[in-house]
Amino acid sequence: MGAERMHAASAESTAIVDAVLDYSRRRMLAADVPLDKPQTPAELNRLVGATITDAGLGSQRALSVFEHILAPACLTTSHPLYLSFIPTAPTMAAIAFDLVVSASGLYGGSWLEGAGAVHAENEVLSFLAAEFGLPDTAGGVFVQGGTIGNLSALVAAREAAKAKLLEAGKELPRRWKIVCSVEAHSSNKSAAKVMDADVLLVPAGPDGVLRADAVREALAEHGDEICAVVATGGSTNFGIVDDIAGIAALKDEFDFWLHIDGAYGLTAMLAPEARGIFAGVERADSVIVDPHKWLFAPFDCCALIYRDPDAGRRAHTQHAEYLDTLTDGDDFSPSDYSIQLTRRPRGLPLWFSLATYGVTAYREAVSSTIALTKRIAAEIAARPELRLVRDPQLSVVVFERDGWERADYDRWSDELLDSQRAFVVPSSHAGRPNTRFAILNPLTTFEDLTGILDTMK
C-alpha cells in the first residue's frame, strides 16, 4: 500500500498538491518577500530536528518546517536588493511554468520522448542565435549552468581540433591548450582541469579587456596545441567584455575554435544600445548565455549554442545498445549536444515567458538595468568618499569607500543583511578590498541603491 499511497491520486494526494500550490501562490505573489539569511548548522539542527523518519512527518508538518525554518535560512536570490554575485530575477510567467514542467512528467533528453518540449526549446535557441548573429543552422541545448556549458563547448572544440589534425596527417599534441584571459571565469579553468588540458592565461589590459594582440602571441607560439580561444562576453566581477571583434578577426590568420563565455553578459545584446560592444560574436564557433541570470528564467538554465551543431553532436553523442533507437536516426536529441544524458526541459520556462510577454518587454527590461547602472555609477563618482574601480560596461558597478579596510566592508555588509536592507558582499581587485552592485532585477530602484550608499559611514 505504501507505493500506491505515494503515487496514486487520492484525498491525501489532493491535500498535498493543494498545500504546495497554496504556498507557491502566496510566495510568488507576495509583495514583501524578505531577503532572509543563513543560520548555523547547530541552530538549524536545534530548530528542525529529525525530519526523515520511518513513519514520515506528513505533508502539513513537512511543509511547515520548510516554510518557517528552512526557507528563511536561504537567501532570496530574486530579491531586488540581492545585489551580490550575479542575481536571478525570473519573471512571474517563468516561475509559474517551472511548476508546469515538473508537474507534467516531461523528459527533455530526446526527440522521441519530448518532441514538443524540444521544439519549444529549439525555438528559443534559434531566437538567441539570431540575436547573436549566428547562422540559421546554429543550434544547441539548454544545460544546467555556465560551467557545464563551457565544458561541453570546450570538449567539442577539442574533438574538432583533433579531427582536423588527424585528417591532415599531423601528430596530436601531448596536451591540449585553451587560451583565455586572466580575468576569465573560473569555470573555464575548471573545464580545462576536467579535460586534462592546460590553460594559457593571457594578460588583459588595465581595463580588464582581453585584446587581439595578446591572443595572437599565444596562437603564434603554441599553434596546433591550442584547441580553443575563450573570449568573455561580460566578466562576473566587473561585467567587462573582451575585444571580441579583434579576437574573432584572428580567425583570418589562424585556424582556431572561438568560444564566447557570455554566461552573464551576452544577454545585453538584446538592448540596442549595447549591441556594438559585442561585435564579432557572429564569428563564434560556440557561445553560452545563462537565462537564469539576465534573461529572467529560474535556476538552473544555460543556453549552449554551436555554429555547427554537428560538431557538438560528434563530441557528445553517447552510444550504447539501449540507446540505439535514439542514436541510429537523425532526430534532434538535446542530450547529443552536451555531456549530460538525462535532462529536464529546462528551457521551457524561458520559452513560456518569452511567448507570454514578447521580446520587446525583454529588451526594455535589459535596457532599464543598464541605464540604472550608469545612473548609480555617476552618483558614486560624484560622492567624494567613494571611488569607481572601473567604469561599468554592462550592469555591474564596482567601487571603493576611501579609508575602508576589509573589516569595514565585512561589518557594513553584515549590518545590511542583518537589518534585511540588502545583500551586498565585499569583493576585491588587485589586492584591494571593494564592493559591487550586480544589477539585474528590473524592480531594483535608484533610491534603493542610493539608500545603501548612504549607509557607508
Q: What is the pairing mode between strands 432-438 and 426-429?
A: antiparallel
Any idea what the Cα angle at residue 35 is, between residues 19 and 44, rounded to 5°? Answer: 70
- CATH architecture assigned to 106-355: 3-Layer(aba) Sandwich (3.40)
For residue 92, the model assigns a pLDDT of 98
For residue 318, the model assigns a pLDDT of 83
Report residue 54: phi and psi, to 5°: -60, -45
Question: Which of helix, strand or coil describes residue 356?
Answer: helix
The residues that bridge with 258 in the sheet, in sequence order, are 229
Q: Return per-residue pLDDT of the chain as tens, 457 residues.
A: 567 899 999 999 999 999 999 999 999 999 999 999 999 999 999 999 999 999 999 999 999 999 999 999 999 999 999 999 999 999 999 999 999 999 999 999 999 999 999 999 999 999 999 999 999 999 999 999 999 999 999 999 999 999 999 999 999 999 999 999 998 898 999 999 999 999 999 999 999 999 999 999 999 999 999 999 999 999 999 999 999 999 999 999 999 999 999 999 999 999 999 999 999 999 999 999 999 999 999 999 999 999 999 999 999 998 665 555 556 667 889 999 999 889 999 999 999 999 999 999 999 999 999 999 999 999 999 999 999 999 999 999 999 999 999 999 999 999 999 999 999 999 999 999 999 999 999 999 999 999 999 999 8
The CA–CA distances, whole Å, from 15 to 10, 65, 70, 87, 102 equal 9, 17, 21, 34, 18
Q: Which helix (H) or strand (E) holds 416?
A: helix 406-418
For residue 58, the model assigns a pLDDT of 95
CB atoms within 10 A of CB 62: 15
For residue 331, the model assigns a pLDDT of 82
Q: Which helix (H) or strand (E) holds 142?
A: strand 139-143
Task: Record the pTM.
Answer: 0.96
For residue 324, the model assigns a pLDDT of 56
For residue 148, the model assigns a pLDDT of 96
For residue 59, the model assigns a pLDDT of 96
Cβ atoms of 226 and 179 within 8 Å: the answer is yes
Comparing C-alpha atoms, which of 261, 212, 256 is closest to residue 240? Answer: 261
R_g (Cα) of the chain, nearest Å: 24
Comparing C-alpha atoms, which of 185, 245, 235, 186 is closest to residue 207? Answer: 235
Question: Which of helix, strand or coil describes residue 82?
Answer: strand
- The CATH homologous superfamily to which domain 359-454 belongs is Aspartate Aminotransferase, domain 1 (3.90.1150.10)
The CA–CA distances, whole Å, from 198 to 166, 402, 440 equal 21, 39, 34
